[in-house]
Structure 1
């Protein structure tokens, strides 16, 4: 046993060894190098010739000699030892308690009878050992062990030194594993990001881009140094770059997802259109760590849509001209006929064709011909109807609701028929009057109400039985086509009121 001064120097040296190992473990990136260094400093710290790091292998339920100092060839990297409670190493691993063993391999009367000595230890004449568990925060790795063929005993202070080394080792192993998992995940992500057809990029929390996938470099011909950070602005068309920068800065500041469409310069000197999106990636507390964005080439899609739009406009123009020609022929015919009844019928037909032409023109001017905001559409139609009867006042109010184009056309015809009838018959004494149109939706039902303040409906009026009137038949047939209900009755205090209700179908 060393004297007090020697003992103090011995313990100070152990502390220096632990301090040095702590710095080494903090910087180590290779697990095998780290484990071998742990073996070396453990043997050095206890003045022993033998040490080893045992890693638990659950598939074999054994402890594997992963690293070591002083063992014969064929032990380190190959040998397995017992992980059961009958071995000192297995006991330390299973219980999480350090084990100090003395007189290993001696006669039964004076030897260590708690644990068996492995064949490897017998071969190397091991007489004493310290086994301490190596633990991470959530998992046990294995055991750090120092062995010696000398008879003198290890002390509890030596155990404390070994526990300090094992604790440092456990933290370092966990860090290396986490960093390796992150690197593997990052490598997998980069492989995936380079395989997608989109241009892709990542930016830090402030919006400064620090990574692009290979496809972006292939398309633009630019280098990372040229477009890192905010250098990507040089790839944008001067007519769009200020708008793009303003909108993406707003997203970076607010944390809201970003979406925009703009042209990006290719290495051939031409611009192509891209639909671009970026999403924030947040930590568990909601703090933005980085942004991930993509740019999807939509040039062909835009060109196809533009071609379709031009074709639609051309078809619409021709249909409008054809309807205008039919209306003109009806107008000429009404002016040349002598029969008042025939004249009225032709004028009504002329008005209906004109309405259809106006409806068609209004709908097909939209870029999206599949659906329409019914409120805006009916409001425009009411303004057109107002222009044909300036002596009357047509008052429209409504809620925005999207419907299919076909249903909008039918509702427009229905509205036209009821309103024009009100203009004709509600105020027979002249001077005009008010017609109110209200559009609302609720509980999946659309409600269109048309009311006037005129003389009201004839006594006993029943819309479904007005077979003599073309207008009434048109209203009933159109309502049936829409699966709508039309109620006709008195308005309060005077006048007539028509209420059309129908289910709102998703578009």
Structure 2
């Protein structure tokens, strides 16, 4: 066989082992296995007895012989080489250039005079070497080196082969690093997801669930295969299932965050209530990649709320009965007195206590303890007042305004006084007439107007001039409590108008 044929066979062999190494790196996940295979492939491809991977250790500023082929026991994992420019390996690492050395260990006049040989290489009789850098996109690992005690020279083609091995190794190490980082991130996420008290899950863009945390399996007693995809529907109470499915499908279709509350069956067969939420996770283009959801057990909270509701109802019922008893006593007292003024005062007191009882009863039945929609509340109050004076026509117009319950009660009492006075005094000739109530809000301020078409107010009317009237005193005191202004004046074309303005939020 001619020298040319031998050279061609040699280079083909290098390409074969390089291709095999590339295939190996696609499957390998262990860094030490990658490094050791790189050494083996380098030795085979170059026909060298020795090869090694040197890893740079910044804390020592040395190159550690991390993996190798052909070295004596105790060398791999322990021997170190200089990382400065005076050694061939250090020069390749620092500059990123391949280094070919020949005649190592020979007298200075005959041998390599650019770099000094390490003690390990001297002990193994190394006479020629190739050093190439191992690098990633933005990091440097160290050096891949092929060594031989033979005097034959390595060539530029040999450098290209070894650099090819180092390049493939660098790409493989990059992949391993990324996959390990992803795996560590996933493991951290799963640890975190299993440590939270909620049941947690993830679904694909269509809403099919592909992952649950361990707490769901602990609660339901089921395995993944039983509740994957849309299998979770088997956990829902039949009375709620259709509603839950409809609402969550709508969110999956529209991409809107989902929230719902429903019971889920546990492994003992009993149901507990869960507040459930899910948010879409999107890519940079806004496309939904997956959904992440949680189910929070709120059974104790719901039971506590129900107990509080029952207690509130019981207290409110007793308050209502107590107010009814007071109203009855005032009614009896008014019927038994012969003094007209005293009778009128008792009847007024009876009406006011009745109003307070009605306001209290309606609030606890229809609204929560913190806030109330004032529009609905005053509309109900006006309907009740209308029932006490059918000869009049009381109309209410308003917009929704949320206000604290205690301020709503006070404003209701204020409205009761103004409307009751209109019923009494606006139409003295009998037959009744219209009374109009309007509610509006703007810029954090509430405006309540009460107007009739009766005889109007006396000239120069001021509340301060009617201090003997219990109604006037109540209006003044309630307005002060609400930080409100009550302005009386004429209506058009006739009658009286009262305008109440006050801040929606009390300062």
TM tier, shorter chain? over 0.9
> Which residue is 1:255 aligned to?
255
- Show the counterpart of 1:420: 420
- The secondary structure found in structure 2 opposite 1:76 is coil
Greater shift, 284-293 or 68-77, is seen at 284-293
Aligned to 1:117: 117
CA distance, structure 2, for counterparts of residue 436 and residue 302 of structure 1: 42
Alignment of 1:11 onto 2:11: yes
Q: 1:99 to 1:323 in 2, by over 3 A?
A: same
Question: Structure 1 pair 54/406, CA: closer, same or farther in 2 (3 Å)?
Answer: same
Matches within 5 A, 1:290-329: 290-329=290-329
In structure 2, the partner of 1:194 is 194
1:487 corresponds to: 487
- Distance verdict in 2 for CA 1:166–1:498, change over 3 Å: farther
Aligned in 2, Cα 1:493/1:71: closer, same or farther, shift over 3 Å? farther
Correspondence 1:330-345 to 2 at 5 A: 330-345=330-345
- 1:8-54 deviations in whole A, cap 9, x for unaligned? 32222222222221111111111111111111112211221111122
> Aligned to 1:240, what secondary structure does the other structure show?
helix
Q: Structure 2-normalised TM-score? A: 0.92
Q: Residues 34 and 287 of structure 1: is their aligned pair in 2 closer, same or farther, counting only changes over 3 Å?
A: farther
The 1:300/1:150 distance shift into structure 2, 3 A limit, reads same
Map 1:458-469 onto structure 2 (within 5 A). 458-469=458-469
User: Residues 162, 493 of structure 1: CA spacing in aligned structure 2 closer, same or farther, 3 A cutoff?
Assistant: farther
Per-residue CA deviations over 1:184-209 (Å, capped at 9, x if unaligned) read 22222222322332222232332222
Residues 450 and 43 from structure 1, CA distance in 2 versus in 1: closer, same or farther, beyond 3 angstroms? farther
TM-score by length of 1: 0.92
2: CA distance between counterparts of 1:29 and 1:145?
Answer: 22
In structure 1, what is the Cα distance between the partners aligned to 2:491 and 2:3? 116
Tell me, what secondary structure is at the counterpart of 1:345?
A: helix
Shift in CA distance, 157/330, structure 1 to aligned 2, threshold 3 Å? same
CA separation in 2, counterparts of 1:410 and 1:44?
Answer: 95
Going from structure 1 to structure 2, the CA distance change for 1:83 and 1:400 (only over 3 Å counts) comes to farther
Correspondence 1:431-450 to 2 at 5 A:
431-450=431-450
What corresponds to 1:393 in structure 2? 393
Aligned to 1:281: 281
**Distance in 2 of aligned mates of 1:81 and 1:463:** 101
Q: Measure how far apart 1:465 and its partner are.
A: 4.0
Aligned-residue offset at 1:336: 4.2
Matched residue, 2:168: 168
Distance 1:140 1:463, change over 3 A: farther
- Written as runs of structure 1 = structure 2, the 5 A alignment for 1:346-365 is 346-365=346-365
Q: Is the Cα contact below 8 Å between 2:483 and 2:506 reproduced in 1?
A: no
* Structure 2 unmatched runs, 5+: none
Greater Cα offset, 474-483 or 189-198? 189-198
Alpha-carbon distance, 1:60 to partner? 2.1
Match of residue 24 from structure 2: 24
- Gaps (5+ residues) in structure 1? none
Q: 1:79 to 1:390 in 2, by over 3 A?
A: farther
Counterparts of 2:22 and 2:120, CA distance in 1: 30
Given that residues 482 and 506 in structure 2 are in contact (C-alpha distance below 8 angstroms), is that contact kept between their aligned partners in structure 1?
no
Q: 1:185-224 residue pairs with structure 2 within 5 A?
A: 185-224=185-224
User: How many residue pairs end up in the alignment?
Assistant: 506
2:404 aligns with 404
Corresponding residue number in structure 2 for 1:42: 42
Q: Residue 409 of structure 1: CA displacement?
A: 0.7
Compare 41-50 and 491-500 and name the one that shifted more.
491-500
Which residue in 1 is equivalent to 2:103?
A: 103
